[in-house]
């Protein structure tokens, strides 16, 4: 059994060295002793994606080396961390190897089976956020039920789990009572719009239901919210109980995934912004969340707030904070899981825009290196973050932050951020600019 002191100060493995399937130099063992020599705590992140990569960036500044449980050496975070454990987030033994000697075990995605996390907790691993909280970020139905019980605004919903005939009848009843203005969602496993069907009418809704594989995660139906826009309230909470909130941002989706973030959300009523922050802080407290949490919200056409979903990890809607806030979400996540005092979340400029670099239908002929070169020449103020990922249509391969200047309009900053991101993915300038003419 692995027993880990959650505050083992030197980050040294409690139960001897962790073995790794990786053979790339430096070996994880060598990296681990280097990490231990720093005397700083060891945080392990499950998942080797861009969120872990950027958390590692923040870990470096804090004198740490993030350990990453990655599926492959080519994962975005595995490329840059010296402390990689290769394995699967579905495998309890791999999770144990990754957890050994760690002050905290945390996540870059929601995919780790809850029963594995409970097993690790029983063995003394500091799983943060804890499984009892993470459950509500993994399961959209459980989240809706819990939020509704806490009196938080959620869309009306119907559970479509269980016996198929009975579930189909519930779908018809729910659809008819909402004029078929409904959305069907997989309860678990969806991300970036996968597992969400914005159906148009009864026939489409029933077709989605009838064609859905019976062995896949259960479905739910919910009311299609008549919305003005989408918002995100990003907060952090530490085990000590300290909470901190960044300004509420507006998120703009394309093809079901986040494309642009405006920080702060333009023209958002102060009271509504505060209400969103308070809801997120209160919920994090009620659920015992540790780390950062994004509460995705809809602002309805009437100006009310409805909670869409929760992410208990760094989130795309918080990337702007890397360049636009005193403390980034990645540093804050580490501070929270290590129970350090939280950092100042104040923005450093009246407005910042983040634009995702989303892969073009076909990767441009011009290399990424050359595109970056041109972008730097044209827009020296653009802060580029690349994830080391291959280019594929609509894949998140990086993002650009533009921190607005005093007196500049949101439209102007947004235009520049989107221009920079489009250049990085497509090698075309949205204003037709040509470096050679």
Question: Annotated binding site, which residues?
Answer: 140, 185, 222-225, 230, 308-309
Which residues are annotated as part of the binding site for ATP?
Answer: 140, 185, 222-225, 230, 308-309
What is the C-alpha to C-alpha distance for residues 32 and 212, in angstroms, rounded to an integer?
A: 46
Sign for the CA dihedral angle at 204, 205, 211, 213 comes to positive
User: Is 192 in contact with 110 (CB distance < 8 Å)?
Assistant: no
Q: How far is the CB of 256 from ligand ADP (least distance, A)?
A: 5
Q: Which of 72, 74, 177, 253 binds ligand ADP (CB under 6 A)?
A: 253
Q: How far is the CB of 186 from ligand ADP (least distance, A)?
A: 9
Task: Pick the piece of the chain touching ligand ADP (CB under 6 A) from 76-84, 185-193, 208-216, 263-271.
Answer: 185-193
User: Is 241 in contact with 340 (CB distance < 8 Å)?
Assistant: no
Q: Which of 100, 139, 222, 394 binds ligand ADP (CB under 6 A)?
A: 222
155 binds ligand ADP (CB under 6 A): yes
Phi, then psi, of 74 in degrees rounded to 5: -90, 0
- Both structure tokens of 280: 């997120």
Q: Which of 75, 230, 250, 323 binds ligand ADP (CB under 6 A)?
A: 230
433 binds ligand ADP (CB under 6 A): no
What is the C-alpha to C-alpha distance for residues 383 and 364, in angstroms, rounded to an integer?
A: 21
User: Is 52 in contact with 45 (CB distance < 8 Å)?
Assistant: yes
Q: How many residues sit close enough to ligand ADP to count as binding (CB under 6 A)? A: 19
224 binds ligand ADP (CB under 6 A): yes
199 binds ligand ADP (CB under 6 A): no
Task: Pick the piece of the chain touching ligand ADP (CB under 6 A) from 16-24, 40-48, 217-225, 383-391.
Answer: 217-225
153 binds ligand ADP (CB under 6 A): no
Task: Pick the piece of the chain touching ligand ADP (CB under 6 A) from 33-41, 78-86, 145-153, 187-195.
Answer: 187-195
317 binds ligand ADP (CB under 6 A): no
142 binds ligand ADP (CB under 6 A): no
What is the C-alpha to C-alpha distance for residues 10 and 280, in angstroms, rounded to an integer?
A: 34
What is the C-alpha to C-alpha distance for residues 177 and 188, in angstroms, rounded to an integer?
A: 25
User: Is 36 in contact with 12 (CB distance < 8 Å)?
Assistant: yes
What is the C-alpha to C-alpha distance for residues 59 and 287, in angstroms, rounded to an integer?
A: 26
Phi, then psi, of 97 in degrees rounded to 5: -60, -40
Nearer to ligand ADP, 193 or 288 (CB): 193
Nearer to ligand ADP, 120 or 160 (CB): 160
41 binds ligand ADP (CB under 6 A): no
Task: Pick the piece of the chain touching ligand ADP (CB under 6 A) from 88-96, 101-109, 186-194, 264-272.
Answer: 186-194
Site string for ligand ADP, 353-392 (x = CB under 6 A): ----------------------------------------
What is the C-alpha to C-alpha distance for residues 347 and 212, in angstroms, rounded to an integer?
A: 44
What is the C-alpha to C-alpha distance for residues 324 and 335, in angstroms, rounded to an integer?
A: 18
Peptide bond before residue 194 is cis, with ω within 30 degrees of 0: no
User: Is 290 in contact with 340 (CB distance < 8 Å)?
Assistant: no
Q: Which of 20, 131, 232, 308 binds ligand ADP (CB under 6 A)?
A: 308
Nearer to ligand ADP, 113 or 190 (CB): 190
225 binds ligand ADP (CB under 6 A): yes
**In 3-state terms, what secondary structure has residue 77?**
coil
- Both structure tokens of 65: 């080396």
255 binds ligand ADP (CB under 6 A): no
E strand intervals along 198-351:
219-223, 227-237, 243-245, 249-254, 257-263, 291-300, 305-311
User: Is 252 in contact with 258 (CB distance < 8 Å)?
Assistant: yes
Q: Which of 84, 183, 184, 397 binds ligand ADP (CB under 6 A)?
A: 183
Q: Which residues bind ligand ADP (CB under 6 A)?
A: 155, 183, 185, 190-196, 222, 224-225, 230, 253, 256, 296, 308-309
């Amino acid at each position: 059994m692995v027993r880990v002191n959650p505050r083992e100060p030197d980050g040294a493995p409690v139960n001897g060295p962790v073995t790794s399937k990786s053979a790339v130099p430096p070996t994880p063992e060598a990296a681990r002793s280097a990490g231990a020599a720093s005397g700083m705590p060891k945080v392990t992140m499950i998942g080797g994606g861009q969120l872990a990569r950027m958390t590692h960036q923040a870990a470096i500044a804090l004198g740490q080396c993030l350990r990453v449980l990655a599926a492959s050496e080519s994962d975005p975070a595995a490329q840059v961390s010296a402390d990689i454990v290769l394995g699967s987030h579905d495998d309890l033994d791999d999770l144990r190897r990754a957890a050994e000697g760690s002050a905290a075990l945390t996540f870059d995605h929601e995919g780790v089976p809850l029963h594995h996390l409970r097993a690790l907790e029983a063995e003394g691993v500091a799983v943060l956020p804890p499984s009892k909280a993470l459950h509500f970020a993994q399961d959209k139905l459980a989240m809706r039920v819990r939020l509704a019980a806490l009196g938080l605004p959620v869309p009306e919903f119907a559970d479509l789990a269980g016996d198929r005939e009975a579930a189909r009848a519930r779908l018809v009843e729910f659809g008819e009572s909402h004029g078929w203005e409904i959305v069907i969602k997989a309860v678990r496993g969806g991300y970036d719009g996968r597992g969400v069907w914005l159906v148009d009418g009864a026939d489409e809704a029933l077709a989605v239901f009838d064609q859905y594989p019976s062995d896949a995660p259960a479905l739910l139906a919910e009311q299609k919210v008549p919305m003005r826009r989408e918002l995100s309230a990003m907060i952090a909470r530490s085990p000590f109980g300290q909470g901190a909130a960044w300004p509420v941002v507006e998120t703009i989706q394309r093809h079901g995934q986040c494309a642009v973030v405006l920080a702060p959300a333009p023209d958002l009523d102060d009271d509504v912004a505060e209400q969103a922050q308070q809801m997120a802080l209160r919920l994090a407290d009620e659920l015992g969340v540790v780390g950062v949490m994004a509460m995705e919200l809809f602002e309805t056409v009437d100006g009310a707030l409805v909670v869409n979903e929760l992410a208990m990890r760094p989130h795309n809607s918080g990337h702007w904070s890397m360049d636009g806030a005193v403390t980034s979400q990645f540093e804050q996540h580490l501070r929270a899981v290590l129970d350090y005092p939280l950092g100042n979340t104040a923005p450093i400029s009246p407005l910042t825009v983040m634009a995702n670099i989303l892969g073009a239908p076909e990767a441009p002929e011009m290399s990424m290196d050359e595109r970056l070169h041109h972008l730097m020449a044209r827009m020296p103020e653009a802060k580029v973050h690349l994830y080391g990922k291959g280019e594929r249509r609509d894949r998140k391969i990086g993002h650009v932050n533009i921190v607005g200047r005093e007196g500049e309009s949101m439209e102007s900053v947004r235009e520049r951020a989107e221009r920079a991101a489009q250049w990085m993915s497509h090698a075309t300038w949205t204003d037709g600019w040509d470096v050679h003419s």
